[in-house]
Amino acid sequence: MLLSAPGKLFLTGEYAVLWGAPAALAAVRPRLSAVVEPREQGIALRVPGASVRAERTDGALHWTGTPAAAKFAMAALELALASRADAPNFAVRFAPSPRNSRGRKLGLGTSAAAAVIAAAAGLTAGREAPRLDPDLVFPIAAQAHWQVQGRRGSNGDVAAACYGGLIRYERYPVEAAERPARPAVEPLPDRGLRLALVFSGVSAKTPSMVAAVEAALSADERAEFVNRSSALTEAFCAALRDDRRESALAALNDAGDLLEQLGKRAGVSVVTPKLARIQALGRARGLAAKVSGAGGGDGAIFAGFDSRALKAALAEVRRAGFDTVEVALSSGVQIDPAQKASGYPPRSQTAATTVSRSAAKSRGTKA
């Protein structure tokens, strides 16, 4: 059995979703995938760079080690199997994570996708006719992801990986004693929205960015930011529902500007000079262009409804020295029954469709 889950891109609601505001996210491919197959004894988990095994004793899993590379999948497997007295012995083997042409991760929420796939594996392994219910997978994956991240985060990336497509999302209260059975997730019409990532060439650490912003804002400033972010998310969602495409792109640009203002108030570079340049290049072509996520580096997104404008903008930013990758909206976690459960899934299923600047020039192709 092959399981796969999409990555995610935050479109609106960065930072504010942690404090009660809604966010809009896109589930995108390239997808992360893993093979699940029977095993004679115990549980085996293999991720790129690490391999670990577990025996089930007194209803709990006892691992042979705790490699950092496998911690999200391990936590999700433990929680999923805790509710299954009939759980069989099986192995889960993950394919390599999608990377860009320079070998860097794409920043699409691989850890969340891994938790979702592991939770799905724990719920379905060994069943004769396995069926996935995202409402059952989400609470397990969300709890695992939240715990491993130090009891923090919005779990928006987990929701995107579970439910797929474009979604409006509100933070799931994983820490609450009585929490809802499913997250506040609303599917949105995509209206043919096209998305791409442009990499700044500089890495950023989301936890440190969030901590710096949280420390700098007063309660009143945070409340004002939450209100403004909420209004922009609702404007974006309403524009998609009503098929007002230019209004949707305007809301995305305004959300990006709000993030830049937040960084200036907090004294951190949410929108770095390179990201600002990327944004300007995209907007000059009529696209929405903004930071996706905490900012401080990594990449920005281009969003639009005109494929030719998007390709022209991507060609321009590549000439300016930036790497790019087009992504596509994708469904949520799923079982692919067509795949044989032997060996790693082919790398072509998970590798990003990126082309380096030099390779693109020499072959005359575009990313």
What is residue 152's three-state secondary structure? coil
- Ranges of H-type helices in 191-328: 206-216, 219-241, 245-266, 273-284, 307-319
The residue written with tokens 């230019």 in the block is 246
Name the token pair of 311.
Answer: 């390709």
Q: How far apart are CA 296 and CA 363, in angstroms?
A: 33
CATH of the domain at 110: 3.30.230.120
Cβ-contact 269, 276 below 8 angstroms: no
Count up the domains in the chain and report the number: 1
pTM: 0.90
- Name the phi and psi angles at 128, rounded to 5: -65, -40
**Residue type at position 302:** F
pLDDT at residue 338, as a whole number:
57
Sequence-distant (≥ 6) Cβ neighbours of residue 261 within 8 angstroms: none
User: Is 114 in a helix, a strand, or coil?
Assistant: helix
Task: Report which of 195, 17, 19, 170 is spatially closest to residue 106, judged by C-alpha positions.
Answer: 195
CA geometry: angle 1, 143, 343, nearest 5 deg: 20
- CA dist., res. 46 & res. 84, Å (int): 21
How would you classify the pairing of strands 23-38 and 43-47? unpaired
Using only C-alpha atoms, the chain has a radius of gyration, in whole angstroms, of 20
Instruction: Give the dihedral sign, CA 352/357/361/367.
Output: positive
List the pLDDT tens digit at each of the 367 positions of the chain.
Answer: 999 999 999 999 999 999 999 999 999 999 999 999 999 999 999 999 999 999 988 778 999 999 999 999 999 999 999 988 887 899 999 999 887 666 777 778 899 999 999 999 999 999 888 899 999 999 999 999 999 999 999 999 999 999 999 999 999 999 998 999 899 999 999 999 999 999 987 777 778 888 889 899 999 999 999 999 999 999 999 999 999 999 999 999 999 999 999 999 989 889 999 999 999 999 999 999 999 988 887 889 999 999 999 999 999 999 999 999 999 999 999 998 655 433 334 433 333 333 333 333 333 333 2
Pairing, β 323-329 against β 194-199:
antiparallel
Token code pair at residue 146 = 């939240």
Cβ atoms of 65 and 34 within 8 Å: the answer is: no
**Domain, as residue range, for 284:** 2-363
Q: Strand, helix or coil at 125?
A: coil
Spatial separation of the C-alpha atoms in residues 260 and 245, rounded to whole Å: 23
The span from the CA of 100 to the CA of 325, in Å, is 8
Query: Nearest to residue 243, comparing CAs of 189, 194, 283?
Result: 189
